[in-house]
Amino acid sequence: MINAPWLELKGIQRHFGSIKALKGVDIQINRGEVLGLVGENGAGKSTLMKIMSGFDSGFTGEVFVDGRAVELGSPNKAQALGIAIAQQELSLIPTLSVAENIFLGGNHGPTIASLSTLSKLARPFLDQVGLNDIDPKAPVHRLSVGESHLVEVARLVAHNPQLLILDEPTAALSETDSERILNMVNRLKENGKSIIYVSHRLDEIFKIADRVTVLRDGASQATKLASELDVPHLVTLMLGRELSDMFPPKNLKRQGTTAYTVSDLWPDGLLSPISFNVKKGEILGLAGQLGSGAGEILAAIAGSHPVRGGLITDMSSAKSFLPKSSKVAITYGIAYCSPDRKHDGLFLGRPISENLTAPNLKRISDKGILNTSKSNTLSADIAESFTIDPSRLPHEASVLSGGNQQKVALGKWLSINPGLILVDEPTRGVDVGARAEIYQKLVELAESGVSIIVASTDLLEISELPSRVLTFYKGALTSELEGSKVNTENILKEITNPETFLQLAGDAS
């Protein structure tokens, strides 16, 4: 039952030089409550979470715990007050066991203990997060991504926090693993824990949040009961304006002749070779849960994933090839936007302008020497095309919000004038406003004649953006859906239906 506020923040402000990250945030978290925290990229959510978890002490304002004024000067102080945060990036040590990870750091475990003893002590915490079937002695590297996230939370639960801050816990997870996270949140709530749930997946917010607080331009908007909101209203609060339809209308007539054929491509991770085609000006979707094989197909076409064989044919030139590296794929006009923009999509420590021109240095060079004028012109043209503020081009890519980073990671490929664009998880960790811009840009590129293949675990995205979808389950192609058959119900059935998979496996044997 929800009682008086357990944590209350009043008038929180945080400035970084002339940049006002937080301009005035008021927030209350009650006992045994799930509070949804939403906002566009750059609205101030990350800064606020750092303050609440003790990682940023340079703010002004008041903080109260159980009605008592407190200071959050360090992570240790926040932890002593009962506040814990699970960040997007896992802090587990893969080579150690689950039990060892749970008791690493802090004084919540024994000083000296055998693995068997640690496993017995870890069992209750694993049960609390729904990992009843996981062996505490198992090394973390053997777990799925979703299971690893649950272990991360179990490690925090072992410290007996009163408030858990979950930062985008399902951003990189499949539908099945995401459901496990939501179930875990409900269990923790039933045990009296307070939870701040931060997510760009608005459907999740409505599933589990009691109340919702919106951050916009560094300021908090009035907190509302989730039951009083719907998606359009919440989006309006986030953006400060109404958002027109997020997905541009599908135009089946814009599909042209076959532009590329993929023949007997067999990436590692798939049960058997796969063949398909993509038309000129088409957005083709590859749907499946994490590890289904959809992402591996895109990476294989781009020369970034081991492959046993196969051919890609550019029908306009009648050339057949199988890229063995990203460099070779680029020479054939193939662009690949990976699902992890921070790891291999951007040079975070380099200027935005350099990121936008990086795939095609020959275009901005004269006899191997960089032509600054050409570079500035090309980066400015791409920035304008992707609605990236040109005044920020000299800044490092790391200072951009997640949405703008994704636009740079995708926009940079315009420098090679691609014929085929491969996009894996196009809007992972991106707010609704930037999502709409990215979808619109992908449609515009398709209408200009570029062929696009999108792989996504987001059901709404993969059902609304492409006009044709190939579905995958555990490394096997289960169906091809087109036209009116492309909907969430059909896609969900095909990517979670073991009967189809077993039938295909039986045929293959």
The pLDDT profile of the chain, 509 residues, written as one tens digit per residue, is: 445 689 999 999 999 887 788 999 999 999 999 999 998 877 889 899 999 999 999 999 999 998 899 998 899 899 899 999 988 777 899 999 999 999 987 677 777 889 999 999 999 999 888 888 899 999 999 987 778 888 988 888 888 899 999 988 887 777 777 888 899 899 999 989 999 999 888 889 999 999 999 999 899 998 999 999 988 888 888 887 766 677 888 766 556 799 999 999 999 989 999 999 999 999 999 998 877 899 999 999 999 999 999 999 999 999 999 999 999 999 999 999 998 888 888 999 999 999 999 999 999 999 889 999 999 999 999 999 998 989 999 999 998 878 889 999 999 999 999 999 999 999 987 878 888 899 999 999 999 999 999 999 888 899 999 999 999 988 899 999 998 899 988 898 888 764 555 455 555 54
- Across 124-158, b (16+ Cβ under 10 Å) vs e yields ebbebbbbeebebeeebeebeebbbbbbbbbbbbb
- Distance CA(494)–CA(506), nearest Å, equals 17
| Distance in Å from the first CA to the final CA of the chain | 55
Neighbouring C-beta atoms of residue 190, cutoff 10 Å? 9
- Distance CA(449)–CA(362), nearest Å, equals 24
Q: What is the DSSP letter of 139?
A: B
- Distance CA(40)–CA(57), nearest Å, equals 23
pLDDT (0 to 100) of residue 244: 64
Q: Which CATH architecture has domain 246-333+418-509?
A: 3-Layer(aba) Sandwich (3.40)
**Fold of the 5-239 domain:** Rossmann fold (3.40.50)
Residues 6+ apart with CB under 8 A from 113: 103, 121
- In angstroms, the Cα distances linking 379 to 164, 244, 395, 509 are 42, 29, 13, 52
Do the beta carbons of residue 114 and residue 108 sit within 8 Å? Answer: no
Q: Which of 57, 59, 69, 66 is nearest to 29 (CA)?
A: 66
Write out the residue limits of the CATH 3.40.50.300 domain(s) in the chain.
5-239, 246-333+418-509
Neighbouring C-beta atoms of residue 114, cutoff 10 Å? 9
pLDDT (0 to 100) of residue 324: 93
pLDDT (0 to 100) of residue 1: 40
Strands 224-225 and 219-220: unpaired
pLDDT (0 to 100) of residue 498: 47
Kind and range of the H or E run holding 207: helix 202-208
* 424 SS3 class: strand
- Distance CA(286)–CA(300), nearest Å, equals 14
- Distance CA(263)–CA(310), nearest Å, equals 6
Neighbouring C-beta atoms of residue 216, cutoff 10 Å? 17
Q: Which of 307, 229, 328, 199 is nearest to 262 (CA)?
A: 307
Pinpoint the alpha helices (H) of 66-114: 75-81, 98-102
